[in-house]
Chain A
Amino acid sequence: MTEIPAIEARQLSVAYHRQPVLSDISLTLPAGQWTAIVGPNGAGKSSLLKVVTGGLKPLRGELRVLGGNARDQRRAGKVAYMPQQEQMEWDFPVSVQETVMTGRYGLMRHDAWWQRMLPERWANPLHRLAVDEALEAVDMQAHAASPIGELSGGQKKRVMLARALAQQADILLLDEPLAGVDPPSERLILDMLEGERRAGRTIVMVTHDLPSARRHADQVALINQTLVGMGSPTEMLSDAMLARLAVGGSTAGGLRVAA
């Protein structure tokens, strides 16, 4: 319905602890599409997501999110983020339901002041509804009260995904949503993301899983410190392009090429 791209980077360079991780990236991710970001380990794929979430500051260049300033869009709750599993503190004393509820914390800024001072149970019922819906979408209602430390790997992934869903954001940034997931969970996650795309959301997925990228993504961005290529999955995931991606890095480190 609009021409405004979800994410637009102009000559973006990013450093982490003074080490350059991304240099001179220019790309446009159209709204409502599913983009897979593919590249070898340490190529800066996660860093690209973290610039959008505010975890890394761009050294140079410009970043626009939904046509606006990234920070404003984050505050408006437009950006949902699912980090890699190892980056979460699974020992933390919270339940599945509470974890997913944290996806609503940004939106709670718009609640009345007295609602913000109450426990979620008595506050705005919209938040509980969104959380229940998200838990249902990833088939985790039965575990709502479980401590997150007791979950299996696939369940942890689904909880993190539910948290991103509960935010009902326009843009879903997913860092390796399929890594270490058993086949039934993988199917569930991909189906669910298909539904989100149909609902008009923008999906940006960092992945090592080329078959899934081929099957589901509208476009693929190849990244190795800089943008190697951007286009349709068939074009970008051809042997020739993947070989070009690996040049510069030593190997195509850890890419799952076959199904």
Chain B
Amino acid sequence: MSLLEGLGSGLIDALLALLMHGVGLLPASLAEPFEYRFMQRALLTSILVGGICGLLSSFVVLKRWSLLGDAISHAVLPGVAIAYLLGWPFFIGAFITGALTSLGIGAIERHTRIKSDAAMGLMFTAAFALGIVIISQIASSTHLMHILFGNVLGVQTSALLLTLLAGVIAVLVIWLAFRPLLLYTFDPQQAQALGFNITLIHYGLILLLTLTIVASLETVGIILVVAMLITPGATAHLLTDRFKPMLVIAVLVGIVSAVAGLLLSFHLDVASGGAIVLVATALFCLALIAAPKHGLLVRLWQRRAAE
């Protein structure tokens, strides 16, 4: 275990050193906050979280899974609380309850007459309530606040490693299963007709989503991670009509939001999670107004030209 820990922190130190080379190229006013060790770690975490959330957000937006992302992120809370009680690493508990809730949603949807939106609302509020009740018994309210809203400035090494691992897994899975995932998102009936196991793809994608949410907990928190799973993808959808460029743009939007939000929160002394999401929202608004093909300005102009 100590060998693994040593390897892990060595890996992070190496990545931080690499990252600081990049930061060194920036103008001094931008680079200045990163003289602090905690800001370096926060920067690395933000880049990773922004990137993975951005990557997944394209699938979430195209698959119309926004509410499901919301549900899983809330369902993670009781897992965190139970893991805390049992002395486990919190992400294991989070992963278990997140996955259980998504399975529960699927089961209600399939076997009762309750529709999916009600199934999701029901399951995730129940899980969330359970989490709140447990946490109110065992932990301080600041602890709860950190879980709910994130605290990227105080990221632990274990959380940073988890985020890194989640990022590597997400990229690998999406690369290796790119075609099944694309086809399942685009046209599940076709995927089925070609003999793909769409149940496997479905739950694989949900597990990937859960992993991403768990990995983002400490940075943006349970409540706001949903924004990072929707806004970058929605922004990218406005900017391109191709799938791979959409993935790339969403990742960039995620990373830029996370880094810019981090800097804003440092300079203005405001909550980092909120700042990150607000930057992402600002980028979305910018795309909404000025996107080359699907933006409001272009549409207005086209309507004028048509008259």
Contact = CB atoms under 8 A, between A and B. Distances in A.
Given A80-B193, A81-B193, A105-B180, A98 B243 contact: yes
A74 B242 contact: no
B189 A81 contact: yes
Interface string A69-102: 0010011110111010001110011110010001
Interface string B213-248: 000000000000000000000000100111101100
B260 interface: no
A106 B196 contact: yes
Contacts, number: 78
Contacts of A89: 62, 186-187
A147 interface: yes
Nearest to B245: A93
Interface residues of B, number: 25
B187 A149 contact: no
A87 B195 contact: no
Interface string B55-93: 000000010000000000000000000000000000000
A173 B175 CA distance: 31
B112 to A, nearest CB: 11
Contact of B195 (A77, A92, A98): A77
B28 interface: no
Given A74-B193, A117-B175, A105 B243 contact: no
A67 B189 CA distance: 23
A183 B196 CA distance: 36
A179 B184 CA distance: 25
B195 A95 contact: no
Contacts of A88: 187
Listed residue (A75, A88, A98, A106) with the most chain B CB atoms within 10 angstroms of its CB:
A106
A93 B189 contact: no
A106 B194 contact: yes
A167 B180 CA distance: 16
Nearest to A146: B241
A1 B146 CA distance: 71
Contacts of B190: 81, 83, 102-103, 163
A93 B246 contact: yes
Interface in B187-201: 187, 189-196
Given A92-B186, A93-B241, A108 B195 contact: no
B15 to A, nearest CB: 25
B186 A94 contact: yes
Nearest to B191: A105
Interface in B240-262: 240-243, 245-246
A54 interface: yes
Contact of A54 (B180, B187, B192, B243): B192
Interface string A141-161: 000000101000000000000
B193 A108 contact: no
B288 interface: no
Contacts of B237: 93
A53 interface: yes
Nearest to A149: B241
Nearest to A52: B193
B176 interface: yes
Contacts of B187: 83, 88-89, 102
Nearest to A74: B195
B246 to A, nearest CB: 5
A184 interface: no
Contact of B240 (A81, A87, A93): A93
B194 A83 contact: no
Nearest to B237: A93
Nearest first, the 4 A-B pairs at minimum CB distance are A75-B195, A106-B194, A147-B241, A74-B195
11 contacts: A54-B192, A71-B195, A74-B193, A80-B193, A83-B187, A92-B185, A92-B186, A93-B62, A93-B237, A105-B180, A105-B194
Interface of A: 50, 53-55, 71, 74-77, 79-81, 83, 87-89, 92-95, 98, 102-103, 105-106, 108, 116-117, 147, 149, 163, 167, 173
